[in-house]
Amino acid sequence: MSTQRFAGKVMVVTGAAQGIGRAVALRAAAEGGKVLFVDRAEFVSEVAAEAGGAETAGFVADLETYEGAASAMAFAVRKFGGIDILINDAFRAEAPGSFEKADMAEWRAVADVNLWGTLTMIKAALPALKASGTGAIVNINTHGSEALDPDFGGYTSSKAALQHLTRHLAREFGPYGIRVNGVHPGPMDALPRRNFLDARAAALGTTADALDAPARERTSLGHLASAEDVARAVTFLASPLARSITGQALFVDGGAWLH
């Protein structure tokens, strides 16, 4: 049964050219939303066009600067008349390795996107979200914010800071009617992971399935989530169905990390 949970709502999605951001934006458009697909990739407008007759547009912006974020928000307001929902999915991860061997400039660059880029988007969107009266923000995080990954300390620490600030902003923005939540995927069954496993398996003389098995075995359900699985959780939290949910972290990892 089709739904129109986002009819009349304007959603801005960052990192919308691929992966979770793309899945979220296309799902929201299919459910009646007016959606701005934002990414630094030039092909984001082509992705937005996949939504067919829905009211969508693509916008290319560097979200590490307030100017880039503000330009995306201003475009959304001009084109659609306001902003009701902000989905922050733009992210960056460092090359895997230990803190001891890490390049601190690379860790800083990761935080510039995952933490400061997300906060910059929220800052730029806040006036429009306040005007909405029923605004919602969903920050795409990672289960690594709590389930430690020794190879990606820069990425997971930036996301852990974002997890805390998600709760902080939920409390601060509550009087404006703005809800703020986080979705925390685990390792995902998606093309980037498959490509990585294929390359790693070839280098080690093994199979991708053998390398993938430990991650699947750590889940309670025996499978990894897809981008579409995560998108369903994100759109639930962004929708009126979650009108009394704010400041929460929803883990979508097959039950790998239990609370």
User: Could you tell me if residue 36 is inside a domain?
Assistant: yes
Q: State yes or no: is 66 an active-site residue.
A: no
How far is 103 from 39, CA to CA, in rounded Å? 26
Q: Is there a single domain that holds both residue 180 and residue 61?
A: yes
SS3 225: strand
User: Could you tell me if residue 4 is inside a domain?
Assistant: no
Q: Is there a single domain that holds both residue 76 and residue 199?
A: no
Q: Is there a single domain that holds both residue 40 and residue 101?
A: yes
Q: Is there a single domain that holds both residue 146 and residue 135?
A: yes
Q: Is there a single domain that holds both residue 127 and residue 218?
A: no
Query: Crossing angle for the helix pair 227-238 and 19-30, nearest 10 degrees?
Result: 50
According to the model, what pLDDT value does residue 1 have? 44
Catalytically annotated residue among 37, 155, 173, 251: 155
Q: Is there a single domain that holds both residue 177 and residue 91?
A: yes
Contact 130, 178 (CB under 8 A): yes
According to the model, what pLDDT value does residue 134 have? 96
According to the model, what pLDDT value does residue 2 have? 58
pLDDT means per 10 residues in the chain (259 residues)? 85 96 96 96 93 89 91 97 97 88 93 95 98 97 88 93 98 98 92 81 91 90 94 98 98 89
Domain count, the chain: 2
How far is 16 from 3, CA to CA, in rounded Å? 22
Q: CATH number for the domain including 51? A: 3.40.50.720
- pTM recorded for the entire structure: 0.93
Domain that holds residue 220: 189-224
Q: Is there a single domain that holds both residue 70 and residue 168?
A: yes
Q: Is there a single domain that holds both residue 84 and residue 142?
A: yes
